[in-house]
């Protein structure tokens, strides 16, 4: 268990203590993690407990006990996983549609995290007790490839890559209507919907930057098959951007309307990142699932797209056989 003691210098005067502690811990430690330590009484200022909003004063004596956040009580569950790749640092999985990535208050079972805890036995603290090992997410009804960290070093490395936008993410989607341009970019900020905090909305003035690149693979009578690349990773980014240009994702009940599919026709086809230990760039692929392929087949039109798009590959980016466990 690591301990850290320091005196607040002039540079920290007037700064919130959670932000200052995160800076003193160093690169790879988030403000969320620092706040979790403070809330767990692992941070003392001048010998006493403080709140994350405490404003640091020059000369304050700070003691930090870098302990794992209190266990969340998440239950490990024997849920089958399709593992695309695994080593001591990372595990790459092919998440099915309908599986939630991590537990939420009042719903702590049946998620990917529950399954990973059974498979891996332990996952690193991400600063949120309900999201151990999780560095990015997919919506419940979005299928496809996702990477999780298995130790603290991998968690810090992957989190940094996501922050620096060094992770490559590619999606396949069916969107309603016939998209006019063969290639396009949707570059418009997003923020929480002021009327419904569970939804996102375009917010040109106050939102966070969001950029989606799309390419038309095939146009059908009533929908278009797209390949999309995310240059940012905002919540519901593809779904909101596609609605904004008048082509919501097929089957998206939140940003479009029901019909065409039982869930939104969105699939994370590829993820690429640098390995936390070796620095080697790695890419992993997930086959487009049968429910999306079936919609294409029902169109009655030929779709001459390569096997890697419609059916995926039997091997991942390292030539290793995908396996189910």
**For 219-248, what is each residue's pLDDT tens digit?**
999 999 999 999 999 999 999 999 999 999
For 275-287, give the DSSP string: -TTT--EEEEE-P
d(CA 292, CA 174): 8
For tokens 């993690």, the residue is: 33
Residue 302: per-residue pLDDT: 66
Residue 28's pLDDT band (cuts 50, 70, 90): low
Phi and psi based region of residue 98 (left: phi greater than 0; alpha: psi -120 to 50; beta: remaining): left
139 catalytically annotated: yes
176 has pLDDT over 90:
yes
Choice among 139, 152, 182, 291 that is catalytic? 139
d(CA 118, CA 126): 18
Domain with CATH 3.30.2350.10 in the chain: 70-162, 165-318
Phi, psi dihedrals of residue 228, rounded to the nearest 5°: -130, 145
71 has pLDDT over 50:
no
d(CA 201, CA 235): 10
Q: What is the CATH number of domain 2-66?
A: 3.10.290.10
Closest CA relative to residue 210, chosen from 183, 240, 181: 240
For tokens 């002021």, the residue is: 194
For 297, the token pair is 């087949």
Closest CA relative to residue 17, chosen from 59, 54, 60, 65: 54
307 has pLDDT over 50:
no
Q: pTM for this one?
A: 0.75
d(CA 49, CA 52): 10
Q: How many helices (H) and strands (E) would you count in the chain?
A: 7, 16
Q: What is the mean pLDDT of the chain?
A: 88
Q: What is the CATH number of domain 165-318?
A: 3.30.2350.10
For tokens 């298995």, the residue is: 150
Closest CA relative to residue 325, chosen from 101, 161, 94: 94
For 257, the token pair is 């309307």
Poorest-pLDDT segment among 65-69, 135-139, 156-160: 65-69
303 has pLDDT over 80:
no
Q: What is the CATH number of domain 70-162?
A: 3.30.2350.10
Domain with CATH 3.10.290.10 in the chain: 2-66
Element (H, E) at 100: none
């Amino acid at each position: 268990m690591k301990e850290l003691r320091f005196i607040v210098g002039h540079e920290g005067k007037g700064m919130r203590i959670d932000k200052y502690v995160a800076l003193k811990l160093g690169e790879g430690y988030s403000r969320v993690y620092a706040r979790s330590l403070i809330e767990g009484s692992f941070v003392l200022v001048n010998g006493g407990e403080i709140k994350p909003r405490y404003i640091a004063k020059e000369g304050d004596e700070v003691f930090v006990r870098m302990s794992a956040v209190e266990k969340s009580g998440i239950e490990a569950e024997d849920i089958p996983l399709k593992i695309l790749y695994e080593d001591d640092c990372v595990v790459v999985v092919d998440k099915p549609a309908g599986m939630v990535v991590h537990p939420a208050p009042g719903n702590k079972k049946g998620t990917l995290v529950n399954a990973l805890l059974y498979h891996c036995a332990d996952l690193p603290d991400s600063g949120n007790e309900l999201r151990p090992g999780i560095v990015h997410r997919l919506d419940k009804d979005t299928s496809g490839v996702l990477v999780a960290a298995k130790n603290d070093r991998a968690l810090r490395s992957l989190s940094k890559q996501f922050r620096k936008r060094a992770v490559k993410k590619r999606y396949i989607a069916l969107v309603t209507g016939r998209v006019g341009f063969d290639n396009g970019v949707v570059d418009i900020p997003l923020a929480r919907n002021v009327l419904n905090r569970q939804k996102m909305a375009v917010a040109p003035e106050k939102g966070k930057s969001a950029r989606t690149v799309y390419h038309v693979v095939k146009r059908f009578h009533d929908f278009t098959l797209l390949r999309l690349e995310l240059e940012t990773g905002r919540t519901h980014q593809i779904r909101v951007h596609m609605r904004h240009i008048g082509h919501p994702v097929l089957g998206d009940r939140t940003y479009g309307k029901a019909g065409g599919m039982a869930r939104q026709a969105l699939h994370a086809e590829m993820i690429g990142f640098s390995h936390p230990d070796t620095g080697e760039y790695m890419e992993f692929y997930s086959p487009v699932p049968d429910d999306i392929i079936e919609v294409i087949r029902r169109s009655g039109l030929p779709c001459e797209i390569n096997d890697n798009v419609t059916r995926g590959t039997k091997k991942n980016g390292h030539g290793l056989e995908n396996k189910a466990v």
